[in-house]
Amino acid sequence: MEVSVLNINGQETGRKVVLNDAIFAVEPNDHVIYLDVKQYMANQRQGNAKSKERSEISGSTRKLGRQKGGGGARHGDINSPLLRGGGRVFGPTPRDYGFKLNKKVKALARKSALTYKAQENAIVVLEDFDFEAPKTKEMANIAKNLKVDGKKLLFVLPEASKNVYLSARNLQKTEVLEASKVNTYKVLNADVLVITEKSLETIDGILNK
């Protein structure tokens, strides 16, 4: 699949790049996409919810009443879960929600996501660019020139650029990501992928193994 390379003014540069069929034209696998997105979302969870169990409550361990004859449920000390202020039974404890996913599964998921975007014609190839200083207006102008303003955009750069990142930070629907950190969730969450030429080479090098 050939795509024209545009400049930041939205004009064609006269160059074209070929999107690798091994990455952008595979047979999409929805199940591996589900697994990869599930893992990404699970890794975002802090998992630090915590409640105190009976043994962790500060209080006397003296048995409050006799075992039988009280007319109510039997219980021991004041830390009992039966009483207000007592411990909680089977409460949440800090945990890691992450789980393992094979590299080939993750790679197929990303290829599938990129294939879907290619099928939707939602990939724009941009020549490499950078800003001398952070300018939100310049970043907004690029989206306007590419006729994708108002959509969720994911700019994929070959390497981290502080000025480009700061320029996009205040734009509500725009996100900047390094090519090496492209993941299935970010690709599917964006309406349009704006990928620079060198970023395509990086993605090709990572996924075409």
Per-domain residue ranges for the chain?
Answer: 2-46+100-207, 51-91
Mean pLDDT of 26-32: 96
Dump strand ranges (E) for the chain. Answer: 2-6, 12-18, 123-126, 153-157, 174-178, 192-196
Mean pLDDT of 70-91: 90
CATH architecture of 2-46+100-207: 3-Layer(aba) Sandwich (3.40)
Residue 207: closest CA among 105, 122, 61, 82: 105
194 and 124 Cβ atoms separated by less than 8 Å: yes
The conformation of residue 26, written as its DSSP 8-state character, comes to: S
Looking only at the bridges linking them, the beta strands covering 192-196 and 123-126 are: parallel
- pLDDT tens digits for 48-75? 999 999 999 999 999 988 999 989 888 8
Mean pLDDT of 182-191: 95
Looking only at the bridges linking them, the beta strands covering 12-18 and 123-126 are: unpaired
Mean pLDDT of 134-161: 92
Mean pLDDT of 20-44: 95
Mean pLDDT over the full length of the chain: 92
Triad 180, 185, 188: Cα angle to 5°: 105
The pTM assigned to this predicted structure is 0.83
Amino acid sitting at position 98? G
In angstroms, rounded to a whole number, what is the distance separating the alpha carbons of residues 45 and 22? 33
